[in-house]
């Protein structure tokens, strides 16, 4: 394939990936989870295509010498922008994951605490706490230790 065409294709892919990362970062900042789910599939696909195209150009870097300087500069600028967006995306995803983990931990702790407070059921089917049957079965005993 013609090197100029390859660079033009990569510019289109990189620009599209940058736009998608901007959308995802914005959705992460504002916790718009529905939008995040919509973006995910396209992000995975574009990332794979981007990676394969970059690797292809990296392996044949001498082909870039045949490409117009303006196109190379444009690709370089888009690559830097995408790199910044990826770093920001990684940070925002890390924050979102930590926040979600805290929520899960709080829910787990609340469930754990509530399960200790409720008695549950015994083998006879009565509730473990304050059961009338349980009270009736408990007998006070005192021992006279005088001889």
For 97-133, how does the pLDDT look when each residue is reduced to its tens digit (9 = 90+)?
A: 999 899 999 998 888 888 765 555 666 766 655 555 4
Q: What is the pTM of this model?
A: 0.69
Do residues 82 and 21 lie in contact, with contact meaning Cβ atoms separated by under 8 Å? yes
How far is Cα 6 from Cα 4, in angstroms, rounded to an integer? 5
For 50-59, how does the pLDDT look when each residue is reduced to its tens digit (9 = 90+)?
A: 999 988 888 8
Do residues 66 and 33 lie in contact, with contact meaning Cβ atoms separated by under 8 Å? no
In the chain, the domains with their CATH numbers are 3-117 (1.20.58)
Sign for the pseudo-dihedral over CA of 80, 81, 86, 88: positive
How far is Cα 115 from Cα 104, in angstroms, rounded to an integer? 16
């Amino acid at each position: 394939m013609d090197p100029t065409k390859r660079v033009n294709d990569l510019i289109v892919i990189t620009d599209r990936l940058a736009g998608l990362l901007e959308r995802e970062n914005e959705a992460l900042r504002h916790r718009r989870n529905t939008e995040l789910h919509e973006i995910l599939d396209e992000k995975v696909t574009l990332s794979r295509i981007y990676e394969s195209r970059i690797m292809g150009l990296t392996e044949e870097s001498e082909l870039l010498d045949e490409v117009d300087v303006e196109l190379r500069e444009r690709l370089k600028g888009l690559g830097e922008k995408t790199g910044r967006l990826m770093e920001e995306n990684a940070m925002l995803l890390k924050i979102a994951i930590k926040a979600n983990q805290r929520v899960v931990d709080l829910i787990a702790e609340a469930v754990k605490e509530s399960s200790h407070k409720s008695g549950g059921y015994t083998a006879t089917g009565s509730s473990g706490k304050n059961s009338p049957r349980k009270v009736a079965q408990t007998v006070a005993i005192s021992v006279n230790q005088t001889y």
